[in-house]
Structure 1
Amino acid sequence: MQLKESLPVYFENTEIAFRDQSNASLKQSYQLFRVMNSRTLVNMGKHLVNLSFAVHFPVEGIIRNTIYKHFVGGVSIEDCSKTIDRLARCKVDSILDYAQEGEESDEAFDTTCREVIRTVEFAANHENVPFSVFKITGVARFDLLAKVSENQSLTDEEQAEYRRVEERVEAIFRKGFELDVPVLIDAEETWIQAVLDDMVMNLMSRYNKEKAIVQNTYQMYRHDSIERIKQHHQMALEGGFKFGLKIVRGAYMEKERNRAAERGYSSPIQPDKPATDKDFDDIIRYFMEHLDSIDFMVATHNEDSSLLLARLIDEYKLPRNYRGIYFSQLYGMSDHITYNLAESGYNVAKYVPYGAVRTMMPYLFRRAEENSSVKGQTSRELKMIRTEIKRRKSRLFQK
């Protein structure tokens, strides 16, 4: 009899995808995605929420029990423990993501830095939390990063401010090195990515001699991403350190195109989605050809790319839980991919954001807008949930 771990992964198995959701929870998810299927309702809801906060209308309870509950792990690291345990029971790991953003002061940046270090310490003591993650814009002022990336001259005060940024970033990765916890740094807009790349590659050379502790992120909707990845990989080979990274399709496409048009330079974005998909899948093949020097995570809600990597792992005759390869999806999305990959024996982790309701609103608005704008995203979620609801009803009638 063939073992389950040797069978191909099948994303249409809704029983596995939603087995940790009660009937009531599943119906609530269905109603939520129905609302997010309408861009009009999403835009209206965004304005109403902002207005409610402005006039101090008590809306937090409603948000907490709906969209927040679906996409957020909790208000604190400790509050996420139940979510982490629930995912772990389904063989899914968690990556805690402190989703603080939009701050401007050194005090706020220092607070975020300390909180990210707490996630590293937490991960070191929890086997189901294999990574930590942060955004450089959570510990640095955006405009300062833009000036450095564009090689503009800095005032003495700005130079001191930038040194504090470098100290925060290094403190996070140093803690990861000391506790043997890989740390992912998220990608940013192209006009501040250069300074991030330089900083991260320098820290890789320092901390990745034995293991990929420092890990960068590359957005494959940029037409230069394959070239950048190969260039950085070559730097790692020449420097004798492990190259660690995550790939995503990307998060700033419209902003990038609009800025390029306004400022009159060539757009850094791929001409169309098929071009992005091709580069995404091509770089996965490249990673598989260089497993001795690359650890990587494929963060995607795309079934085809997930199936490609799953198939390549089997073709290369690697154990499905090969330590240097991870799949990842956002908490609250694409459970049919996450849970079926995990059930088939692959390494898979959910990005689990956490924070107070008010501070999580920018993140939640992006999730809602993403689901209403990405072609087929919400329709796919609705289809899967609807299929599982029907399956459960049918099973009930058969009893």
Structure 2
Amino acid sequence: MQAERAKTSPATSQPLSFDNTVTAFSHKSDKELRFSHFIFKMMGRPTLVKILSNFTLFALKLYLPIKGLIKATVFKQFFGGENIENCTKVITQLANEGIATVLNYSVEGNQREKDFENATVEMLRIIDFAKTHSHIPNTCIKLTGIGRFELLKKAAANEKLSDEEKTEYDNFSHRFETICKASAESHLPLLVDAEESWIQDTLDRITEEMMSKYNHERAIVYNTLQMYRHDRLDYFKALIEKAKNQGFRLGVKLVRGAYLEKENERAEKMGRPSPINPTKEATDALYNRALELAIDNIDIVEICAGTHNEKSNRLLAELMHQRSIPNNHPGIIFAQLYGMSDHISFTLAKAGYMVCKYLPYGPVKDTIPYLIRRAEENTSIAGQMGKELRLIREEMKRRKDDRN
């Protein structure tokens, strides 16, 4: 569906407006719109989100029956379901609007080898499922879902591993390569998430190895750069040079970052400089410079711009137009989370750009850490909830006026 629409979408100079509520919410019924209004109104209150997050964790420890409440509220807004098959309805709905899906198995906090093996099997299931669904053009993975956090932390610090830990690390590497190989054989790009800075060197190292091995004719393995880190633009430049020298395609997903408070708190506690930019403006500037760098090197770089920032999305579209790059260029993807920023995603898709929604899924209980992290992250985004609420209210009013 998206590819068909994009055939008629050459590079265009028409300015993008993200304020058209008809475009943003035509896929939602009045009931669904009211539900989204309730969720965003609740998430626009950071103190309330914090209290509810703590209560949820406490209730789970006491085995209180709160699964139904969670499933009927935030889970319903931001998740596709508890398993792959549950997601089919949402995948089809998005495809009908020209938007692709990235299935995200969002179970976090695993510590046992058995859990890591199960997560690997699930990733391979996603790849098999995607092969038969043209509207799932790529997949994603969080490497701490298949490897123990403390082990990756130790490896990043170049600490000596015990024989048992070496075996454990080899198992982790084998799991990751199995997934990368399956992705390459299925011609499905794999977007590797970025995580905390104190394990990121390990993730960068092993992801670069897989890129050099599998990114030949196209980028199969993508690394993610969190641009709230002040060193990531230089790292991006180094990756470009490495790709040129070694002759592989560079796949990069650009995000602002998901662990800001955690990073700053750890740096302060350890008496070290924070790896995070001092201001949001500095992060915005670095993110936009990274977009420019990607487009300047589009002959070797393939990019997924994961952002809910209107200015950055508009900038990328403008850069494409300036260089006469067609809207449907296969190496340039705009990405947002399912349940958020529909005014951006649906507007871009209507203009013929390649757009995807990250669609999380997994058992309700096992996805609580992901839900809490996303909720707290979103409340910290200046103006994000306010803009979502304003547009939803405008559309609700427009529909009411039309009926009168």
TM superposition score category, shorter chain reference: over 0.9
Q: In structure 1, what is the equivalent of residue 287 of structure 2?
A: 280
Among 373, 379, 393, the alignment partner of 1:386 is: 393
* Pairing 1:74–2:84 present: no
Deviation at 1:57, TM superposition (A): 3.1
Q: In structure 2, what is the equivalent of residue 175 of structure 1?
A: 182
Report the number of matched residues. Answer: 395
Paired residues for 1:54-69 under 5 Å: 54-69=61-76
Q: Distance in 1 between matches of 2:220 and 2:46?
A: 40
8 Å Cα contact 2:258-2:377 kept in structure 1:
no
Q: Distance in 1 between matches of 2:133 and 2:319?
A: 29
Q: Distance in 1 between matches of 2:110 and 2:319?
A: 42
Q: Distance in 2 between matches of 1:96 and 1:4?
A: 26
Q: Distance in 2 between matches of 1:279 and 1:104?
A: 34
Paired residues for 1:344-363 under 5 Å: 344-363=351-370
Among 212, 223, 239, the alignment partner of 2:246 is: 239
Q: What is the TM-score when the length of structure 1 is the normalising length?
A: 0.97
Q: In structure 1, what is the equivalent of residue 127 of structure 2?
A: 120
Q: Distance in 2 between matches of 1:49 and 1:153?
A: 38
Q: In structure 2, what is the equivalent of residue 299 of structure 1?
A: 306
Q: Distance in 2 between matches of 1:374 and 1:284?
A: 20
* Pairing 1:86–2:111 present: no
Paired residues for 1:89-238 under 5 Å: 89-238=96-245
Moved more, 294-303 or 201-210: 201-210
Q: Distance in 2 between matches of 1:163 and 1:16?
A: 49
* Pairing 1:308–2:309 present: no
Residue-by-residue CA offset, 1:245-280 (whole Å, 9 max, x unaligned):
100000111111111112222211111111111110
Which secondary structure does the structure 1 equivalent of 2:165 belong to? helix
Q: Distance in 2 between matches of 1:55 and 1:266?
A: 39
Q: Distance in 2 between matches of 1:151 and 1:44?
A: 38
Letter in 1 for 2:203: L
Q: In structure 2, what is the equivalent of residue 319 of structure 1?
A: 326
Deviation at 1:52, TM superposition (A): 3.1
Deviation at 1:9, TM superposition (A): 2.1
Q: Distance in 2 between matches of 1:212 and 1:269?
A: 28
Q: Distance in 2 between matches of 1:255 and 1:47?
A: 16
Which secondary structure does the structure 1 equivalent of 2:164 belong to? helix
Q: In structure 1, what is the equivalent of residue 57 of structure 2?
A: 50
Which secondary structure does the structure 2 equivalent of 1:94 belong to? strand
Which secondary structure does the structure 1 equivalent of 2:317 belong to? helix
* Pairing 1:329–2:340 present: no
Which secondary structure does the structure 2 equivalent of 1:350 belong to? strand
Residue-by-residue CA offset, 1:172-216 (whole Å, 9 max, x unaligned):
100001111100100011111111111111111110111100110
Among 265, 284, 305, the alignment partner of 1:258 is: 265
What is the Cα-based RMSD across aligned positions, in Å? 1.3
Q: Distance in 2 between matches of 1:366 and 1:384?
A: 24
Q: Distance in 2 between matches of 1:54 and 1:176?
A: 37
Which secondary structure does the structure 2 equivalent of 1:95 belong to? strand
Q: Distance in 2 between matches of 1:368 and 1:150?
A: 30
8 Å Cα contact 2:124-2:182 kept in structure 1:
yes
Which secondary structure does the structure 1 equivalent of 2:107 belong to? coil
Q: Which runs of 5+ in 2 are unaligned?
A: 1-7
Moved more, 134-143 or 258-267: 258-267
Residue-by-residue CA offset, 1:161-180 (whole Å, 9 max, x unaligned):
00001001101100001111
8 Å Cα contact 2:9-2:326 kept in structure 1:
no
Which secondary structure does the structure 1 equivalent of 2:115 belong to? helix
Letter in 1 for 2:385: T
Q: What is the TM-score when the length of structure 2 is the normalising length?
A: 0.95
Identity of aligned residues (%): 42
Q: Distance in 2 between matches of 1:161 and 1:368?
A: 33
Specify whether residues 4 and 194 from structure 1 end up closer, same or farther in structure 2 by C-alpha distance, changes over 3 A only.
closer
Q: Distance in 2 between matches of 1:48 and 1:253?
A: 23
Deviation at 1:373, TM superposition (A): 2.4
Deviation at 1:119, TM superposition (A): 1.1
Q: Distance in 2 between matches of 1:106 and 1:28?
A: 39
Among 17, 20, 28, the alignment partner of 1:10 is: 17
Residue-by-residue CA offset, 1:26-56 (whole Å, 9 max, x unaligned):
0111011111111222122223323333333
Deviation at 1:4, TM superposition (A): 8.2
Which secondary structure does the structure 2 equivalent of 1:266 belong to? coil
Q: In structure 1, what is the equivalent of residue 44 of structure 2?
A: 37
Q: Distance in 1 between matches of 2:125 and 2:350?
A: 30
8 Å Cα contact 2:116-2:147 kept in structure 1:
yes
Moved more, 286-295 or 54-63: 54-63
Q: Distance in 1 between matches of 2:276 and 2:60?
A: 35
Which secondary structure does the structure 2 equivalent of 1:28 belong to? helix
Deviation at 1:126, TM superposition (A): 1.2
